[in-house]
Amino acid sequence: MFKKVAFALILITISLLAEAAPPQAVALVEAYKSALEAQSIKPVEAHLARDFDFSGAGPEISRMVFEQVLSLGVMKLGEITSIEMNNTSNDRARLTFQTEVSVGDAEPQKTEDNFDIVLEGGVWKIAAIGTGALQAMLIEDPLKQSTFKIEGPALSEIPFPSDLEHIVVDVVLSGKPAKMIIDNGTPLSVIDLSIAEGFESIGEIAIAKAMGVSGDISNPGAVTVDEVTVGEIKVSNLTAVTMDLSHLSSALGVEIAGLLGTDFLGRFAWTIDYSSRKIFLSRLAEGGGLLDPNDKILKREPTHRIHFDREMHLLYTSAEFAKEMPANIILDCGAGGGVLTPEFFAKLPKKAFSVSGTDTLLGADTKRIEVQTIMPKKLTIGDISRKDYPIVISDLSHINSMGLPTPIDAIIGYNFFSDWLITTRFDESVVELRPIPK
């Protein structure tokens, strides 16, 4: 079983109250304040209880999520004017304190903050944070927690251009024509920051974390998209995080309004046909299975099936870059080629690949990095092998730092299977391959 990985939307709440201050609570409050200022868990780590919980994430991942939230610099506290300790039992209490909260560039506001504490070995520790000024809505599974509405036929066919590396589709976004990228490499759908003001904001501020090939980035908000139409499919009330996508627009030479992520794709059995440059969206029924059992794409039996494990939006399976050298890989339809870690590359026998030169990667954090490119002499996934699939060597530690129990050795794009119709079934945890019709 994989550990849970959370995608957090952080909500800052402002309220007004006040009371007096017992001295035994000062160290905990000051450590919490210092952690916010330092954007690091270190000042408060020694004061966290063994079963510390952040916003209901549970002890297993709370420290990791809290650390990620702190690193984003969501908010800072000003002068602590009063602290009150209310015992809820012999060994538990709630600290409530008056302070000023600064969020981003906004003016500080006087407010109340709080967290729960517990007595461990005669020492008070922070038991839980997430009911005061800093709160989080945790997205642990975008497929199960998506609540948007879908209308349209059982099967919709959408073309995408042949001259672009990504799957860019025409959409109607709240009544206006736009272009979005279909990408299972993002857990939640994304709206470009430049147009975010046109949609209803979620909370006073929302923060989320996204991962790029060359690092991680943060975004400043989340919105509700009232309506987006893709082909004949209409989606209403879609939750999307906001992010600066100007680097994508610039790289592609096309204005990109957003990304349709795993939350969207999870409602379909989705099929990519690279030969005709089309993506087919086959709707799933509410109780499971296809809405149309006689779907013209999927009624034929697949000739190959590649099973995967899924954590959030990451689809894990195995590949072989050389004989008896299995690798843990992620399948990503947004990747135009493969990415292999330097650690795994160092183990590859030289006879297993040829060097192709160098390439430049553009990560979601807008950084461009020059990387080495190789061509494995035989790369196998399931029972499909290729000798002509380019792989770049690049660091993937930002993905492996997400608390995953199995290190990831590579990312492989869906175009590895470009000689087939490629259908992804989240409901059955399988990628199905079918011959392309003549």
Q: Name the pairing type of β-strands 391-393 and 338-340.
A: parallel
Residues with Cβ within 8 Å of 107's Cβ and at least 6 positions away in sequence, in order, are none
Same domain, 339 and 418: yes
92 and 26 part of one domain: yes
CATH number at residue 242: 2.40.70.10
Which two three-digit tokens encode residue 398? 């930002």
Q: Say what the pLDDT of residue 317 is.
A: 95
Do 275 and 312 belong to one domain?
no
Same domain, 128 and 158: no
Confidence band for 334, pLDDT divided at 50, 70 and 90: confident
Percent of the chain exceeding pLDDT 70 equals 84
Task: Please check whether residue 1 lies inside any domain of the structure.
Answer: no
Opening angle at CA 132, ends 129 and 137, nearest 5: 70
Helix-, strand-, coil-residue percentages of the chain, each rounded to 5: 15, 45, 40
Instruction: Tell whether 274 and 161 lie within a shared domain.
Output: yes
Q: End-to-end alpha-carbon separation of the chain, Å?
A: 41
User: Does residue 298 belong to any structural domain of this protein?
Assistant: no
pLDDT at 210 over 70: no
pTM above 0.85, yes or no: no
Assess whether pLDDT exceeds 80 at residue 122: yes
Task: Count Cα neighbours of 214 within 13 Å in the Cβ-side half-sphere.
Answer: 14
Q: Are residues 205 and 223 in the same domain?
A: yes
Q: What's the 3-state SS for 296-307?
A: CCCCCCCCEEEE
> Is residue 243 domain-shared with residue 327, that is, in the same domain?
no
Rounded Cα distance between 52 and 187, Å, is 26
Give the residue from 139, 157, 188 where a domain finishes: 139
297 lies in a domain?
no
Is residue 130 scored above 70 in pLDDT? yes
- Tens digit of pLDDT for each residue in 314-332? 899 999 999 889 999 999 9
- Residue 295 in any domain: the answer is no
Helix (H) or strand (E) holding 152: none
Higher pLDDT, 241 or 160: 160
Per the listing, tokens 């990519």 go with 272
- Residue 329 and residue 272 in one domain: no
Mean per-residue pLDDT over the chain, rounded: 85
Q: Specify whether 131 is located in the same domain as 177.
A: no
Identify whether the C-beta of residue 384 lies closer than 8 Å to the C-beta of residue 304: yes
The values of phi and psi at residue 118, to 5°, are -140, 150
HSE of 411 in the Cβ direction (CA atoms, 13 Å)? 24
**pLDDT tens, 34-62?**
999 999 999 999 999 999 998 877 887 78
Least confident of 38-47, 97-106, 192-201, 411-420: 97-106
> Is the predicted pLDDT of residue 18 greater than 80, yes or no?
no
Comparing 164 with 154, which gets the higher pLDDT?
Answer: 154
Based on the domain organization, do 135 and 153 belong to the same domain?
Answer: no
* Residue 125 within any structural domain of the chain: yes
Residue finishing a domain among 139, 157, 190: 139
Q: Closest Cα to residue 268, out of 148, 122, 438?
A: 148
pLDDT tens track for 239-260: 888 888 888 899 899 999 999 9
Could you tell me how far CA 98 lies from the centroid of its own chain? Answer: 34
Q: How far apart are CA 337 and CA 360, in angstroms?
A: 12
Q: How far apart are CA 319 and CA 213, in angstroms?
A: 20
Torsion sign, CA atoms 437, 314, 160, 235: positive
> 342: domain range?
304-435
Q: Is residue 288 part of a domain?
A: no
Q: Are residues 364 and 404 in the same domain?
A: yes
CATH code for the domain of 117: 3.10.450.50
CA–chain centroid gap for 364, Å, is: 12
Please tell me whether residues 309 and 366 are part of one structural domain: yes
Contact assessment for residue 259 and residue 183, using Cβ atoms and an 8 Å cutoff: yes
Tell me what pLDDT residue 105 has: 63
DSSP sequence for 316-375: EEEEEEETTEEEEEEEETT-SSEEE-HHHHHHS-GGGEEEEEEEEEE-TTS-EEEEEEEE
Pick from 28, 51, 36: which is nearest to 134 by CA? 36
Q: At what angle do helices 62-71 and 26-38 cross, to 10 degrees?
A: 60
Question: Of 117, 139, 161, which residue constitutes the final position of a domain?
Answer: 139
In a domain, residue 291? The reply is no
pLDDT score of 120 more than 60: yes
In a domain, 294, yes or no: no
Domain count for the chain: 3
Q: Which residues contact 369 (CB under 8 A, 6 or more apart)?
A: 214, 360, 361, 363, 394
Which residues have C-beta within 8 Å of that of residue 421, sequence separation ≥ 6?
Answer: 271, 272, 273, 297, 433, 434, 435, 436
Instruction: Classify 194 as helix, strand or coil.
Output: helix
- CB within 8 A of 263, min separation 6: which ones? 142, 143, 146, 148, 187, 188, 189, 238, 239
